[in-house]
Amino acid sequence: MTGPGSFSSVKRLARLLILLVFLLGLWWILLSLGHILHHEDPLAKADVIFVLGGSRIDRIAEAGDLYLEGWAPRILLSRQLSEGGEVALRERGITVPAEVDIQRTVLVNMGVPSDAVEALTAEQVTTATEGDALVDAARAHNWSHIIVVTSKLHTARARLAVTRRFAGTSTRIVMRASRHDRANVDRWWETRSDSRFALFEAQRMLAYWVGIAD
């Protein structure tokens, strides 16, 4: 006959097993986080290469390489929100090149024809607003295949955000990470920049999964 003490021991053992399973699961998630946040689709010929904002050169260099390799005949750049200092200096009549203009120059110097490079008109704040702008551009130009370029640890969330906006359409999205991005997907915790980026992306991905972000 089992006594109260034995029942308490079983409960404690069950709690310890649950805790162990939880810790092992958490450890696995942390070790695998880089791969959870990294998603790339096989390359395919497209109508345009769209470069998400958030990187000064890495993503632009990838877009230039993809263009030169013949994957698409044009490149569309995002337009990032101007910093306060940029706005203030321009108001004083001081010329401050916009990031998108610098990026366009880099692409031209890589060998991309200037008339093959366009940029969104409105400044973008988030990946979600970039996705909305891309939908509008795709409709206006009748694009059916789009390569979207971003950073390695941003690809999974970016793909989720962009494909949500194209739901119900026949447009195909191909997500690609920049080959010039030095982030270490396997060991994302080793550098401060990678760890900060990964943990931020993990929070945003969780928000997407639970439905509190679009």
β-sheet bridge partners, residue 118: 76
Distance CA 117, CA 194 (A): 30
Q: How many CB atoms lie within 10 A of CB 35?
A: 12
Q: Write down the pLDDT at residue 27.
A: 64
Nearest to 159 by CA among 43, 37, 19, 54: 37
> What's the pLDDT score for residue 18?
72
**Which class is 36-209 in CATH?**
alpha beta
How is residue 111 annotated by DSSP?
T
**What pLDDT shows up at residue 127?**
93
pLDDT in tens, 60-75: 999 999 999 999 999 9
In the 8-state DSSP scheme, what is residue 3? -
DSSP 8-state code for residue 115: G
Give every residue of the chain whose pLDDT is below 50, as ranges. Answer: 1
What's the 3-state SS for the chain? CCCHHHHHHHHHHHHHHHHHHHHHHHHHHHHHHHHHCCCCCCCCCCCEEEECCCCCCHHHHHHHHHHHCCCCCCEEECCECCCHHHHHHHHCCCCCCCHHHHHHHHHHHHCCCHHHEEECCCCECCHHHHHHHHHHHHHHHCCCEEEEEECHHHHHHHHHHHHHHCCCCCCEEEEEECCCCCCCCCCHHHCHHHHHHHHHHHHHHHHHHCCCCC
pLDDT of residue 12: 74
Specify the pLDDT at position 133. 96
